[in-house]
Amino acid sequence: MRSTEVPAGLAPILLPGERLVTAVRAHWGKLAEPVATMLLGLTAAVWVDSNVTKATQALGTIFWWLFFGLLARLLWCLLDWSHNWFVATDKRLLLRYGLISHKVAMMPLLKVTDMSYVRSIPGQFLGYGKFVLESAGQDQALREVKWVPNPDQTYRDICAEIFHIVPPPGDEDFEEIDDEFPDDPGQPGGQIPPVSPIAPGGGTSYPDVHRTHNPIQDRLDSYSRAVPIQRPSDGSETVYESDDLKRRRRGADTGPIWPRSRD
């Protein structure tokens, strides 16, 4: 699965803030041998029981007990399969396994020097592969990961996280972002941010900021005592004028001059 939702049972092994890249169970082909063995045991038990005589009645009982043992083995393998997870996050590779004793093998992404996968002929038909991981350390807790389903996609997801490759805009992860803005053929990708009806020049909308301010101007105001004024009267141009210049301009103002009478 490629989702941000953490499957049940994996939350205790993830760190706070760790982003899930992929989490997959072992391929169902891992259960092919126990299922086939159980079916063979059932066929043999039915055949022996149908041809048993009084002298060989004990033999039929033995075959039935053998079948029940194979059935119990299949149930055990099924439960163990449900607890087997291969997990990749933005920081680590993990292998969680074990039914009674839960075990976790881990390798940081920074220590992965090489990663390859092998697909046998049955794996190519059934869709599974084996991952082989190499790291700079000598002792590796996570060396081989077998029965990885959909290995091509899993390999690409992990490599993209290791090399920090951002998916293209057409990827499914960006579909929700595309719906947030209206289409505009003049913009790259067909998006344009919303236009504010109160911001001068039609800038980005900041509903709780004055129409002559924006976040950049607020930062400038924290370092300067200049205050914005608008000239001309239509507000098309914003000019900054400090308090001392305002006082100096007001001090030179002598008021209206009335014409002197010639009398």
Average pLDDT value for the chain: 75
Between CA 80 and CA 158 the distance in angstroms is 25
Closest CA to 132 of 156, 116, 154, 153: 116
Q: What is the pLDDT of residue 178?
A: 47
pTM listed for this prediction:
0.58
Report residue 239's pLDDT band, with 50, 70 and 90 as the boundaries.
low
Quick one: tokens of 99?
């039914």
The region of weakest confidence among 5-19, 29-43, 150-164, 221-235 is 221-235
pLDDT of residue 100: 87
pLDDT band of residue 221 (cuts 50, 70, 90) is: low
Percent of the chain with pLDDT over 70: 60
**Of the candidates 106, 96, 92, the residue with the CA atom closest to the CA atom of residue 9:** 96
